[in-house]
Amino acid sequence: MTASNDPRNAQAPQPVRWLTFSDHDPDFLNLTYVYPVLSRRMQGISIGINLNTNNACNWACVYCQVPGLHRGDAPEVNLPLLEAELKGLLDNPALSPMIPPDTPAAMREIRDIAFSGNGEPTSSPQFLQAVDIAKRQRDAHGLKIPLVLITNGSLMLRPEVQEGIRALKEAGGVVWFKVDRLLPESMKQINGISYKPEQIQHRLDVACSLAPVWLQTCWVAWDGKAPGAEDEAAYLEFVARNAHQIQGVHLYGLARPSLQPEAPHLTALNAETMNAWAERIRATGVKVQISI
């Protein structure tokens, strides 16, 4: 018996790894830049583009699921590799075996291509070129889906970022602009950075002048307590003031464990609390999509 035929050398079969709401790992397919997720908010497959392969971000949100997160900008992107990976994934119908068999047919459809990943995507100096690649491959594959930029909005005043967002808009894209808290001390606690409300407003105004914008808001408890009355009032006032220029609010809770040092402080709010908060936001006159 040869060594290769020896049953003692046989490897155990690897367990099937499914796409799930709770697993948004950018290394899902062991690619460098491109990864699929099963998205609660999009109710289907989202193709993620991760430009921050060094796990660097200019913010430090306490609910972030990125391991080894640290401050910094995106590294140089290998644009030909990015395009090859995106083309390969869109060419390959093998996503279906990665989806649990009981997943409804509608949830198996590709819903968007999203710039997200392990940091702030607009920190990449090649953000514009990456948008062009995403548009080119989407159109080449005949997909009628939006491009989505998931951003903290902090770099919105940079001309090169604005150029990228104009290209995104021309490609039928949309911006998801993070606003978790408005009070500087609360923003410092949740996002690891402190802006004044007027600074957030200015960046949002610029974003809305460039493309359709949704606010995205993570609403979580800290040490078992939901955000307080002052945080609620500041947020509602901000949303009401911007109801004329935003598309709505993506409100979501804590669905996956944080990998940051502050994780022990965080707990998810229950569905009753989240739905009640969504109704209060809707009362300002904006559309709310909620993911619990």
Confidence (pLDDT) at 16: 45
CB neighbour list of residue 97: distance below 8 Å, 6 or more residues apart: none
d(CA 190, CA 138): 35
- How many CA within 13 A on the CB side of residue 120? 22
Nearest 5°: phi and psi at 276? Answer: -65, -40
- 44: its two tokens: 């289907």
Residue 65 has pLDDT above 60, yes or no: yes
Exposed/middle/buried for 159, CB within 10 Å: 0-12, 13-18, 19+?
Answer: exposed
d(CA 107, CA 291): 15
d(CA 186, CA 64): 16
Instruction: Return the sign of the alpha-carbon dihedral for residues 285, 289, 291, 292.
Output: positive
Tell me the pLDDT tens digit for each residue of 106-158. Answer: 667 889 999 998 999 999 999 999 999 999 999 999 999 999 999 999 999 99
Least confident of 17-31, 62-76, 130-144: 17-31
Cα-based distances in Å from 283 to 192, 236, 275, 279: 29, 9, 12, 6
d(CA 231, CA 128): 35
Residue 72 has pLDDT above 50, yes or no: yes
Confidence (pLDDT) at 101: 66
DSSP H helix total and E strand total for the chain: 7, 12
Going along the chain from its start, the domains and CATH numbers come out as 34-290 (3.20.20.70)
- 180: its two tokens: 């978790």
Confidence (pLDDT) at 92: 76
Please, what is the Cα angle at 214 between 60 and 181, to 5 degrees?
A: 40
CA dihedral angle for residue 149, residue 66, residue 103, residue 275, rounded to 10 degrees: -70
The SS3 call for residue 37 is: strand
- Amino acid symbol at 201: Q
pTM of the predicted structure, to 2 decimals: 0.88
Tell me the pLDDT tens digit for each residue of 188-243. Answer: 999 999 999 999 999 999 999 999 999 999 999 999 999 999 999 999 999 999 99
d(CA 153, CA 120): 9
Least confident of 42-51, 56-65, 138-147: 42-51
Q: Kindly list the strands in the beta sheet with 110-115, ordered across the sheet, starting from the edge strand earlier in the chain.
A: 34-39, 44-49, 110-115, 147-151, 174-178, 213-218, 248-252, 288-291
